[in-house]
Structure 1
Amino acid sequence: MAADIHFFPRVSIEQVEEGKELAPKFDEEGLIPCVTTAAQSGEVLMLGYMNAEALKRTIATGEAHYWSRSRQVLWHKGATSGLVQKVVELRVDDDQDAIWLRVDVVGDASCHVGFRSCFYRSVPVGTGPDVRELAFEEAEKTFDPKEIYGDAPNPTKL
């Protein structure tokens, strides 16, 4: 299914910026950044990365797939947690080096830490160079990560 999807070679600026051919530009590691937002509210849920296979599977299945840079594996969002991201719309930016997914999330959460959004904290701005505390913008976790993932080590490298 995903193997049937082929990307066009990048041949000109006009083709990439104003044409109808999907010719994504992956970086030197074979990745393209993907901003994922809630389809209804527009809330930013996460920033992830896709390799060619993840992008093809996302297109083919209508569910978000990413490349985990920390674990170095293809990752079907929600395969373990059940928090599947159903793609409502997939867009590519003007020079085709970034992806934007608008999704509906089964279970209404996207962060492996248990919050709805991976962007659950804010940084005070306009306070000069002395930033001491992040502010939590989500009061409660949507789910308990230990119930879903067990005592597995956090997949994020420090």
Structure 2
Amino acid sequence: MTSSVPDSGTPDAPRFPASGLDPAIAARLKRGADGLFPAIAQQYDTGEVLMLGWMDDEALHRTLTTGRCTYWSRSRREYWVKGDTSGHVQHVKSVALDCDDDTVLVKVDQVGAACHTGDRTCFDSGALPLGE
């Protein structure tokens, strides 16, 4: 389930439609110049970090009201519901704002792979070396 959003004419600054997000939540959110904020998906019962996606007010509204994670695709410039094409659904268990109100943590029950590569998490490609 995706819906295209009209182009604002500037590739880095998409124009988003009016949102049904609770005004009290919207007033708290700090967004980037592009109107987006990061959304971290975490497995609710193990704490495993699954992926990072981007949301705007409407994506957050859809996530809160449908119980399925909705993100904004910066490359496709449209909304996407995790799992609609892959079947790898994220069932939302809770959503929280961080202390700066500029990132959301979405605790989910992940069905299948979270990463588009087919890996369980987007952070499976290997740890970077620490030290000197």
Per the normalisation by structure 2, the TM-score is: 0.79
Between the two structures, name the one with larger relative contact order (CA 8 Å, sep ≥ 6).
Answer: 2
Consecutive aligned runs of 4 or more in structure 1 exceeding 6 Å deviation? none
- Structure 2 distance, partners of 1:64, 1:38, is 13
Query: May I ask how many residue pairs the two structures share in their alignment?
Result: 113
Aligned mates of 1:95, 1:45 — CA distance in 2: 22
User: What's the % identity of the aligned pairs?
Assistant: 45
- Does residue 65 (structure 1) correspond to residue 70 (structure 2)? The answer is yes
Which SS does the other structure have where 1:48 is aligned? strand
Matches within 5 A, 1:81-120: 81-107=86-112, 109-120=113-124
Structure number with bigger Rg: 1
User: Within 2, Cα distance between the matches of 1:4 and 1:31?
Assistant: 16
Cα deviation, residue 95, structure 1: 2.5
Q: Distance in 2 between matches of 1:97 and 1:76?
A: 21
For normalisation by structure 1, the TM-score amounts to: 0.67
SS at match of 1:34: strand
Query: How much does 1:30 deviate?
Result: 0.5
Q: Paired residue for 1:32?
A: 37
Asked if structure 1 preserves the Cα contact closer than 8 Å seen for 2:92 and 2:108, the reply is yes
CA deviation after TM superposition for structure 1 residue 118, in Å: 0.2
CA–CA distance in 1 between the matches of 2:127 and 2:83?
25
- Alpha-carbon shift at residue 26 of structure 1 (Å): 1.5
Once the two structures are superposed, residues 71-129 of structure 1 have per-residue CA deviations (whole angstroms, 9 ceiling, x without a partner) of: 2111101110011100111011122111001100122x100001000000211111x3x
Query: The residue matched to 1:124 in structure 2 has which SS?
Result: coil
Q: Is the 8 A contact 1:7 1:24 kept in 2?
A: no
Q: Distance in 2 between matches of 1:70 and 1:124?
A: 30
State which of 21, 25, 49 in structure 2 corresponds to 1:5.
Answer: 21
Letter in 2 for 1:114: G
Match of 1:54 in 2: 59
Q: Tell me, which stretches of 5 or more residues in structure 2 are unaligned? A: 1-18
Q: Secondary structure at the match of 1:59?
A: helix
Q: CA RMSD in A?
A: 1.7
CA contact (8 A) 2:20 2:58 kept: no
- Tell me how far apart the structure 2 counterparts of residues 84 and 115 of structure 1 sit (CA, whole Å): 14
TM-superposed deviation, 1:4: 4.0
